[in-house]
């Protein structure tokens, strides 16, 4: 049996169009310049205080600068060293600011692009009495009715009340192919700023000025409404707490040193510059400097997939998803069913069945109909005949008869639901072959759709229509399972059909003959057991479930109600993308954890650099701890501070891109990341600090 | 380390391991209100207690009520102990007449600051002793004030741990148990029977239990020697089982009447860690997955062995400067070798080092040898054990909730690396848990570092009010890093509610009594209250079902992670301070530079 469809790509990511509009190189020139400027603006302590770690660094830098000025005036020795420490502490703050500004710049640039499209147009407002007046779009209120004709820019968000039109939504989606918008149903929402290409529609405006989808989108990509996510806040508390601990350790070190100097009778108490340097090296500046950049970049990555996340919280929650509700059609299976086999009843030649089926389908432009024609051609070399050559009378499908076909001279060829064909055959005075219903049932049980074919009073057999599971879907779902995510298929099919497809696709569970209410209840049940649920939806009747789900991705083609209920909008309306969103959420969390671990483990090496240097004069024996053999106490302290600053810049690409993420079990992932970021964080600084120390020596800087 | 030393530790560990499951299972039954073999005997007593105190055992408390009950109970205990000490002269069972006109000449005066310090010390399960028991306190005070606190302060610790475990075990509940019920059950079913058995055993091995006056003996020289006795066994048993550590005598478990034989020594070390080890199993049992408990046990065991082996090795290696002088420091058939200074001959190096490590792994603080005389690395281990919040089995209850706080922090950081917001035992670790865990960790670090720093920097008038006897700076008796260690150790011991002393420090001054007392209060209550807040927060949460995407919190990987978190957090916080104490002292010793004499007198 051959399948009359092209093999789908193995990698499902290939199914997701990446929008060139949004993708920019990581260090785009324009963005970098913008970020450099912002790095200095962000030095303002009033804003920096939101980042306690960096605030402490700034205070330290300012303090040393004051000491530096005092010592320079007095002409005290060691000014050069103090100057270098101050300089690198300022750099530390600037580098962290740069990371954040870099992440923000991408969003700001996109917002600017969007803003350019937002010109104030004149709307054709239709008054209650039917008269039309031209008013600026900015004066439209929710409830107003406007007319949009070919060439007009739709003045605001709304629902189509009347008519059908093709609309260019590339402003929002970056997709140049026009889409159809019509009144009623799930394609009725239009977005302000998009353009009508043909025909005319009457629109009821649903949003007030400043609250339109475009406004919200600009605010979102710009990060204007960015709030710290729960996990980000918790992590901030942790690193602020660690900062406090290190503050205690360093501040008390001063009196300890006084005691030690007195006890040893030699040496000097470490200077404020050295103590501040130690403090800055110990507090988790790496993660403190990169934390907000990681969050912004995570949202940006979602955006690069053309998904608009309404909050960072939603992106974070997507990493936690336990249950993924996937619509069968279009997500798990290709959108349409395909004919895969002709099964005749006894005494009928398969070729005859195929021929009749092809004739009955010639005028059927549905994908199912076309697939029948193709299958007949492939199996029996039956050429699709020219419809016009035949003096045929085509019978279109109707919901009433539930069959379609063709009247060809005396022949009355029909195809349709098995019971409908049975009824037709009986009406024509024919008898029913015993095997027809049996075949039909067998196909239904296997998850297929049986389509019976009759030639007048003769029932010929059954066409087996099948849902085709998307290529690679099974592997993808297995990966999800390995990550601990259950996939649930939602379908309107009967349980029998659903079970068969569920098994073929490898989903963990399915919800057959699902009504919106069933979906909502399923989500509630899962949540009651402590699971987090993600789903996609587009219809108005999906809205309650989208609102209930922890992550609800609304399709951009869907209704305004659905878009408002969900916490993400997929501008491409590709339901498979939910899986990518989950991966991005996980990647975001992993990046945070990895850099926190790395940052903390780094401290060990800095102790080995700074502690022996601090007490070199008091307790020369402590040089046994100078395992890197740094050449002088000053160079040791400087090398540690420089490493501490440079590592922030070095990790900016990682923070913006996210750490490499490979779906696997939690235990495997933890082991891998602990090796890389835990052990790596412990070891990596040693050679780096050693190298910086050598360079400082060569340059005679310390 | 000698072969017999290794053998000693291994045997000890195996016995501890064997005790863990039965004891843990028994405690789980007790705290979940199930019937045990002691129920027929103790249940009437339990009911009587509730009736007498007006406790309704079926009414549960929210974490705030639980914490308020704990504080109220501790406050009443504090006032009672303070009053008993100050009034001892007017109270019965005082054959030696302490606090009266006919007290012995060597009596330590029970000043308000000393009474404050001691009352705080026993109520917080610290049992730091700025006094010598046999020269300060009457039998009445020892029995009604101190021994009672030996039971109930320990039971309060267990109660808080059990409340936290309930937080993990429960789903969407507001209450975390009833403090009064947990306190009563911990005392009646756990501490009382075990203490009874241990006290009988100690009596059998020669520990006194009497209300008679001290014995006057005539020595061979014809002089009169006063031999202190008293109700020792009944205080000794809960001292160890409840990880209290407050000895009847000043010499604590080094005293032959507290710890007469190698066998009692072994049993005493076992008594220190038995309940804490058992609680790991109780935890696993109560959260419905005993692997979780064994994982904590495994992490603790790794840290235990590392500590014991380093400490014993350092003590057995002794001081290289002595070897350089031609003194035999290796163990031979005739002598133990190593550093025997400050150690009892009947315990030897393994019996002393194991005791020291166990007592600081736990928040016990009983000692059978003088820590001030340990080698620098031998002394580093107990100090580091304190500074990592005593989570290696730990104090009764406090060890479990301490390691669970570390687990929460570990899960929070590492858990992110599996791509989910962190969860432990199905409970999401969020802002509140992280905040509370950080408060607990910071409060002990604060108490240790800040009080030590102020003490080292404060310059008192010599022989003034704050520091009546001795030198003006910090009152230490050794110079150099060793003197520094003495102060750092004192505040570590107080803040972590351990109570052992490095010694070499005259701590019975108003300054030390006040600051050490405050350190004990901070270390106890600013740790326990956050723990209860976490318990309340966790209990209210949903329990997320475990999947392959969940961070596994059992098994070697997580045990290793936990060990790493304990070591890294401890090391990062205290490395600078330790490098000026035991670490540099060790490096100096290798270079032949020793500090023994007092060199600080000139500084005032």
Q: Between β-strands A449-455 and A411-416, what pairing exists: parallel, antiparallel or unpaired?
A: antiparallel
Q: Take residue B535 and report the two structure tokens written for it.
A: 């318990």
- The tens digit of pLDDT for each residue in A95-153 reads 999 999 988 887 888 788 777 766 667 888 888 888 888 888 888 888 889 998 888 88
- The tens digit of pLDDT for each residue in A288-300 reads 999 989 988 888 8
Alpha helices in B417-509 (DSSP H): 431-457, 480-495
Closest Cα to residue A669, out of B415, B292, B412? B415
With 50 as the cut, is the pLDDT of residue B603 above it?
Answer: no
Q: How far apart are CA B111 and CA B234, in angstroms?
A: 26
- The tens digit of pLDDT for each residue in B347-400 reads 999 999 999 999 999 999 999 999 999 999 999 999 999 999 999 999 999 999
With 90 as the cut, is the pLDDT of residue B196 above it?
Answer: yes
A168 as an active site residue: the answer is no
Q: How far apart are CA A548 and CA A565, in angstroms?
A: 8
Across the interface, whether the CB atoms of A611 and B576 are under 8 A apart is answered yes
With 90 as the cut, is the pLDDT of residue B477 above it?
Answer: no
In three-state secondary structure terms, B216 is strand
Residue A213 contacts residue A563 (beta carbons within 8 Å) = yes
Q: How far apart are CA A388 and CA A375, in angstroms?
A: 21
A-proximal residues of B, 376-435, CB under 8 Å: 409, 412-421, 426, 429-431, 433-435
Question: Could you tell me which chain A residue has the CA closest to the CA of B447?
Answer: A248
Across the interface, whether the CB atoms of A319 and B413 are under 8 A apart is answered no
Q: Take residue A298 and report the two structure tokens written for it.
A: 């995570």
- The tens digit of pLDDT for each residue in B23-73 reads 999 999 999 999 999 999 999 999 999 999 999 999 999 999 999 999 999
Q: How far apart are CA A615 and CA B584, in angstroms?
A: 10
Closest Cα to residue B523, out of B451, B469, B468? B451
**Angstroms from B379 CA to nearest CA on chain A:** 18
In sequence order, the β-bridge partners of residue A694 are none
With 70 as the cut, is the pLDDT of residue A14 above it?
Answer: no
In sequence order, the β-bridge partners of residue A537 are A554
Question: Could you tell me which chain A residue has the CA closest to the CA of B415?
Answer: A593
- When pLDDT is averaged across residues A147-162 and rounded to a whole number, the result is 86
Q: Take residue A602 and report the two structure tokens written for it.
A: 């780094």
Closest Cα to residue A665, out of B492, B552, B159? B552
Number of Cβ within 10 Å of residue B565's Cβ equals: 24
With 90 as the cut, is the pLDDT of residue B340 above it?
Answer: yes
Q: Take residue B176 and report the two structure tokens written for it.
A: 């975390």
pTM: 0.88
Residue A519 contacts residue A526 (beta carbons within 8 Å) = no
CA diameter of chain A: 120
Q: Which of A148-162, A658-672, B259-273 has the highest mean pLDDT?
A: B259-273
Across the interface, whether the CB atoms of A249 and B480 are under 8 A apart is answered no
Residue A550 contacts residue A527 (beta carbons within 8 Å) = yes
Q: How far is CA A460 from CA A404, A428, A473, B73, in A?
A: 15, 14, 35, 90
Residue A34 contacts residue A108 (beta carbons within 8 Å) = yes
Strand order in the sheet with A179-182: A179-182, A164-168, A195-198
- Average model confidence (pLDDT) across chain B: 92
Number of Cβ within 10 Å of residue B80's Cβ equals: 16
Q: What pLDDT score does B479 carry?
A: 75
- Whether complex ipTM tops 0.90: yes
With 90 as the cut, is the pLDDT of residue A66 above it?
Answer: yes
Q: Within an 8 Å CB–CB cutoff, is residue B556 touching chain A?
A: no
Closest Cα to residue A602, out of A246, A295, A292? A246
Q: How far apart are CA B343 and CA A163, in angstroms?
A: 98
Question: Could you tell me which chain A residue has the CA closest to the CA of B421?
Answer: A320
Q: Within an 8 Å CB–CB cutoff, is residue B561 touching chain A?
A: yes
**Angstroms from A250 CA to nearest CA on chain B:** 8
With 60 as the cut, is the pLDDT of residue B596 above it?
Answer: no
Q: What pLDDT score does A225 carry?
A: 61
Residue B319 contacts residue B374 (beta carbons within 8 Å) = no
Residue A54, Ramachandran bin (φ over 0: left; ψ between -120 and 50: alpha; else beta):
alpha
Q: How far apart are CA B456 and CA A584, in angstroms?
A: 52
Q: What pLDDT score does A119 carry?
A: 65
Q: Between β-strands A458-469 and A333-344, what pairing exists: parallel, antiparallel or unpaired?
A: antiparallel
With 80 as the cut, is the pLDDT of residue A5 above it?
Answer: no
């Amino acid at each position: 049996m051959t399948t009359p469809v092209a093999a789908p790509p193995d990698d499902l990511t290939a199914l997701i169009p990446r929008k060139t509009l949004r993708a920019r190189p990581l260090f785009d020139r324009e963005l970098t310049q913008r970020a450099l400027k912002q790095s200095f603006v962000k030095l303002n302590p009033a804003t920096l205080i939101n980042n306690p770690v960096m605030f402490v660094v700034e205070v330290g830098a300012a303090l040393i600068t004051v000491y530096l000025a005092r010592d320079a005036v007095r002409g005290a020795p060691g000014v050069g060293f103090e100057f270098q420490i101050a300089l690198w502490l300022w750099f530390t703050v600037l580098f962290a600011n740069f990371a954040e500004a870099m992440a923000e710049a991408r969003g700001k640039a996109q917002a600017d692009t969007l803003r350019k499209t937002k010109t104030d147009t004149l709307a054709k407002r239709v008054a209650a009495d039917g008269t039309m007046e031209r008013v600026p779009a900015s004066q439209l209120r929710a409830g107003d009715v406007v007319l949009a004709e070919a060439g007009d820019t739709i003045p605001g968000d709304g629902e189509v009340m009347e008519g059908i039109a093709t609309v260019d939504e590339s402003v929002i989606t970056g997709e140049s192919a026009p889409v159809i918008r019509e009144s009623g149903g799930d394609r009725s929402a239009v977005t302000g700023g998009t353009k009508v290409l043909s025909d005319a529609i009457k629109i009821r405006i649903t949003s007030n000025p400043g609250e339109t989808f475009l406004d919200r989108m600009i605010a979102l990509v710009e990060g204007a409404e960015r709030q710290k996510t729960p996990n980000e806040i918790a992590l901030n508390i942790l690193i602020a707490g660690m900062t406090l601990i290190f503050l205690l350790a360093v501040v008390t070190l001063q009196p300890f040193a006084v005691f030690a100097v007195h006890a040893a009778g030699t040496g000097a108490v470490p200077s404020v510059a050295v103590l501040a340097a130690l403090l800055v090296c110990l507090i988790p500046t790496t993660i403190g400097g990169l934390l907000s950049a990681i969050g912004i970049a995570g949202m940006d990555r979602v955006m690069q997939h053309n998904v608009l996340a309404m909050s960072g919280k939603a992106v974070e929650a997507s990493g936690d998803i336990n249950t993924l509700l996937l619509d069968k059609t279009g997500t798990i299976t290709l959108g349409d069913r395909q004919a895969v086999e002709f099964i005749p009843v006894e005494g009928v030649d398969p070729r005859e069945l195929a021929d009749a089926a092809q004739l009955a389908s010639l005028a059927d432009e549905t994908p199912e109909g076309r697939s029948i024609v193709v299958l007949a051609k492939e199996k029996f070399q039956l050429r699709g005949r020219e419809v016009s050559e035949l003096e045929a009378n085509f019978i279109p499908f109707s919901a009433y008869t539930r069959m379609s076909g063709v009247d060809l001279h005396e022949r009355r060829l029909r195809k349709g639901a098995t019971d409908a064909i049975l009824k037709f055959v009986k009406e024509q005075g024919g008898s029913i072959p015993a095997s027809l219903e049996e075949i039909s049932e067998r196909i239904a049980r296997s998850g297929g759709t049986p389509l019976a074919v009759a030639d007048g009073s003769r029932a010929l057999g059954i066409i087996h229509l099948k849902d085709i599971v998307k290529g690679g879907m099974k592997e993808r779902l297995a990966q999800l399972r390995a990550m601990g995510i259950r996939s649930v298929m939602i379908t309107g099919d009967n349980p029998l059909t659903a079970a068969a497809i569920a098994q073929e696709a490898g989903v963990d569970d399915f919800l057959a003959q699902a009504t919106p209410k069933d979906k909502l209840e399923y989500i509630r049940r899962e949540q009651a057991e402590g699971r987090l649920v993600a789903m996609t939806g587009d219809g108005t009747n999906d809205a309650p479930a989208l609102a209930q789900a922890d992550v609800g991705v609304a399709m951009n083609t869907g209704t305004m109600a659905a878009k408002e209920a969900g916490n993400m909008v997929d501008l491409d309306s590709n339901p498979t993308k939910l899986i990518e969103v989950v991966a991005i959420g996980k990647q975001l969390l992993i990046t945070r954890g990895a850099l926190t671990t790395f940052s903390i483990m780094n401290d060990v090496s800095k102790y080995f650099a700074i502690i022996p240097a601090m007490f070199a004069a008091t307790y020369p024996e402590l040089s046994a701890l100078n395992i890197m053999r740094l050449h002088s106490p000053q160079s040791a302290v400087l090398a540690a501070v420089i490493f501490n600053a440079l590592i922030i810049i070095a990790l900016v690409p990682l923070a913006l891109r996210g750490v490499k993420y490979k779906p696997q079990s939690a235990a495997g992932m933890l082991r891998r990341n602990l090796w890389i970021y835990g052990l790596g964080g412990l070891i990596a600084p040693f050679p780096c600090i050693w190298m910086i120390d050598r360079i400082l020596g060569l340059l005679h800087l310390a | 380390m000698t072969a017999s030393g290794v053998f000693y530790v291994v045997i000890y560990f195996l016995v501890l391991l064997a005790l863990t499951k039965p004891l843990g299972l028994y405690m789980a039954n007790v705290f979940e209100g199930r019937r045990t073999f002691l129920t027929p005997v103790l249940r009437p007593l339990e009911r009587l207690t509730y009736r007498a105190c007006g406790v309704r055992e079926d009414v549960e408390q929210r974490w705030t009520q639980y914490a308020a009950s704990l504080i109220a109970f501790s406050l009443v205990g504090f006032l009672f102990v303070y009053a008993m000490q100050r009034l001892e002269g007017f109270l019965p069972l005082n054959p030696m007449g302490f606090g009266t006109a006919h007290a012995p000449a060597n009596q330590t005066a029970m000043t308000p600051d000393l009474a404050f310090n001691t009352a705080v010390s026993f109520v917080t399960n610290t049992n730091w002793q700025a006094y010598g028991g046999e020269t300060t306190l009457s039998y009445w005070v020892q029995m009604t004030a101190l021994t009672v606190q030996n039971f109930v302060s320990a039971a309060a610790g267990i109660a808080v741990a059990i409340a936290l475990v309930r937080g993990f075990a429960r789903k969407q509940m507001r209450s975390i148990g009833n403090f009064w019920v947990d306190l009563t059950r911990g005392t009646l079913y756990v501490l009382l029977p075990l203490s009874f058995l241990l006290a009988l055993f100690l009596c059998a091995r020669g520990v006194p239990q009497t209300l008679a006056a001290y014995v006057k003996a005539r020595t061979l020289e014809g002089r009169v020697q006063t031999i202190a006795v008293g109700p020792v066994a009944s205080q000794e048993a809960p001292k160890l089982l409840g990880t209290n550590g407050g000895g009847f005598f000043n010499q604590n478990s080094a005293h032959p009447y507290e710890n007469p034989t190698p066998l009692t020594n072994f049993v005493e070390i076992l008594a220190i860690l038995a309940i804490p080890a058992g609680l790991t199993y109780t935890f696993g049992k109560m959260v419905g997955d005993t692997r979780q408990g064994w994982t904590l046990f495994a992490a603790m065991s790794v840290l235990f062995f590392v500590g014991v082996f380093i400490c014993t090795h350092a003590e057995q290696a002794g001081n290289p400067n002595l070897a350089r002088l031609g003194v035999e420091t290796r163990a031979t058939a005739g002598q133990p070798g190593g550093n025997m200074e400050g150690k009892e001959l009947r315990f030897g190096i393994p019996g002393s080092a194991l005791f020291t490590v166990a007592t600081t792994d736990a928040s016990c603080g009983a000692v059978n040898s003088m820590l001030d005389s340990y080698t620098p690395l031998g002394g580093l281990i107990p100090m580091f054990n304190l500074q990592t919040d005593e989570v290696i089995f730990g104090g009764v209850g406090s060890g479990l909730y301490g390691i669970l706080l570390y687990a929460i922090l570990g899960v929070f950081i590492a858990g992110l690396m599996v791509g989910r917001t962190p969860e432990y035992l199905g409970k999401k670790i969020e802002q509140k848990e992280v905040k509370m865990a950080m408060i607990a960790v910071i409060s002990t670090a604060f108490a240790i570092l800040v009080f030590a720093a102020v003490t080292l920097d404060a310059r008192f008038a010599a022989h003034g009010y704050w520091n009546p006897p001795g030198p003006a700076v910090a009152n230490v008796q050794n110079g150099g890093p060793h003197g520094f260690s003495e102060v750092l150790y004192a505040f570590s011991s107080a803040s972590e509610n351990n109570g052992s002393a490095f010694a070499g420090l005259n701590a019975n001054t108003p300054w030390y009594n006040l600051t050490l007392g405050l350190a004990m209060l901070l270390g106890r209550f600013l740790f326990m209250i956050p723990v209860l807040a976490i318990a309340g927060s966790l209990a209210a949460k949903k329990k997320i079902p475990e999947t392959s995407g969940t961070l596994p919190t059992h098994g070697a990987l997580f045990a290793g992670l936990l060990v790493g978190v304990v070591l890294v957090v401890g090391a990062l916080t205290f490395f600078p301070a330790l490098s000026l104490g035991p670490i540099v002292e060790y490096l100096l010793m290798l270079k032949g530079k020793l500090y023994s004499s007092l060199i600080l007198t000139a500084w005032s």
